[in-house]
């Protein structure tokens, strides 16, 4: 409840004096470096963050990396009424193709309406594809029957932008975590499912008492951790992160990004990381796919696409990043 610092905007951002202000500015990912872990507020207040930033996390795709998901010529059309009898077709996704290696992160970036979220929802079959294939370990999940897709649905999970909207407010967290396990046949008994729920709460950094609380009793960052824990209970191979940190303040965002990195390392998860935030995408991604008007504009290794963008649209996106985020405050 206290004012820590105030002054002209440029001065506060370029030359902050208070430790808390400095911490807020340093929590945000930067384009010129990729630390193994993002610093968080507590690191700076304790004076220990500078040592954390010395080690860089290596990112990139190797030709030998095994492919867990291959998308070929994915298309999604929507239709709107035009007049009494007419219909107008809108191509939200057009001939999108990419490969997702196991244990790696593919970042999807683009302006609002570029089609990046539609790609994620179509892969989850929350939208039915109009064309194309999505080969999960060689099998096309888009052409499977609903019964066949059930097991694959467990293995591909999605984390939405607003965790509160995806958590049933009438359920305690224990029910939210154990119900999907029961539906997918995970755990041989109710007690085993409860034990796994407690284990996943610990994995995402929440205390056991969280099991007995309701969603409204948690902060936004804590609710996102619960959403992540729910995904983990199903033992997925792929997580689609759809703007999953964009609603969080920078300090909480750093904590959740660090958590996602830790979980990827521990469980060898593959991520499709969808965001409009170019700095966050660079920090998280091994490879980046730029989309515009439903089409792929450019796809390349993360570092390469930020250092040497080939397409005018990618250059335009990168030039829109405030200069302070390129090299930090």
Residue 243, SS3 per DSSP: coil
Instruction: Over range 10-26, report the average pLDDT.
Output: 79
pLDDT tier for residue 324 given thresholds of 50, 70 and 90: low
Q: Are 204 and 211 spatial neighbours (Cβ–Cβ below 8 Å)?
A: no
Domains and CATH numbers, the chain: 9-46 (no CATH), 67-320 (3.40.50.300)
Angle at the Cα of 218 (from 213 to 220), degrees rounded to 5? 145
Torsion-angle region of 235 (φ positive above 0: left; ψ -120 to 50: alpha; else: beta): left
Angle at the Cα of 303 (from 297 to 309), degrees rounded to 5? 35
Name 288's Cβ contacts closer than 8 Å, sequence gap at least 6. Answer: 106, 107, 108, 109, 281, 282, 299, 300, 301, 302, 305, 306
Render pLDDT for 83-137 as a digit per residue (tens, 0 to 9): 676 788 899 999 999 999 999 999 999 988 899 999 999 999 999 999 999 999 8
CA pair distance 329, 317, nearest whole angstrom: 21
Q: Hey, which bits of the chain come out as E strands?
A: 67-82, 86-101, 105-109, 131-136, 139-140, 156-159, 238-242, 270-274, 287-292, 295-301
Q: What is the pTM of this model?
A: 0.88
Question: Distance of alpha carbon 314 from its chain centroid, rounded?
Answer: 20
């Amino acid at each position: 409840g206290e004012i820590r610092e105030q002054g002209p905007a440029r001065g506060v951002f370029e030359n902050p004096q208070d430790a808390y202000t400095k911490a807020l500015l340093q929590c945000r990912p930067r384009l010129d470096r990729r630390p193994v872990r993002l610093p968080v507020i507590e690191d700076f207040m304790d004076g220990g963050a500078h040592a954390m930033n010395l080690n860089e996390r290596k990112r990139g795709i190797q030709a030998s990396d095994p492919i867990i998901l291959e998308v070929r010529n994915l298309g999604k059309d929507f239709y709107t009424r035009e007049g009494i009898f007419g219909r107008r077709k809108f191509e939200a996704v057009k001939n999108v193709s990419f490969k997702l290696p196991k244990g790696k992160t593919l970042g999807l970036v683009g302006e609002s309406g570029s089609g990046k979220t539609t790609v994620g929802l179509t892969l989850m079959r929350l939208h039915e594809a109009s064309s194309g294939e999505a080969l999960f370990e060689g099998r096309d999940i888009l052409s499977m029957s609903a019964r066949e897709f059930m097991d694959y649905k467990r293995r591909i999970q999605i984390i939405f932008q607003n965790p509160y909207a995806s958590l049933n407010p009438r359920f305690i967290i224990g029910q939210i975590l154990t119900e999907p396990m029961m539906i997918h046949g995970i755990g041989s008994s109710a007690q085993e499912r409860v034990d796994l729920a407690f284990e996943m709460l610990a994995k995402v950094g929440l205390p056991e008492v969280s099991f007995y609380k309701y969603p409204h009793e948690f902060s936004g960052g804590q609710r996102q951790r619960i959403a992540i824990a729910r995904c983990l209970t199903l033992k997925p191979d792929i997580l689609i992160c759809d703007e999953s940190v964009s609603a969080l303040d920078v300090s909480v965002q750093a904590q959740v990004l660090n958590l996602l990195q830790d979980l990827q390392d521990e469980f060898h998860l593959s991520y499709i990381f969808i965001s409009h935030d170019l700095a966050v995408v660079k920090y998280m991604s091994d490879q980046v796919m730029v989309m515009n008007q439903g089409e792929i504009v450019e796809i390349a290794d993360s570092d390469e696409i930020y250092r040497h963008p080939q397409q005018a649209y990618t250059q335009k996106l990168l030039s829109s990043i405030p200069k302070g985020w390129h090299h930090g405050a």
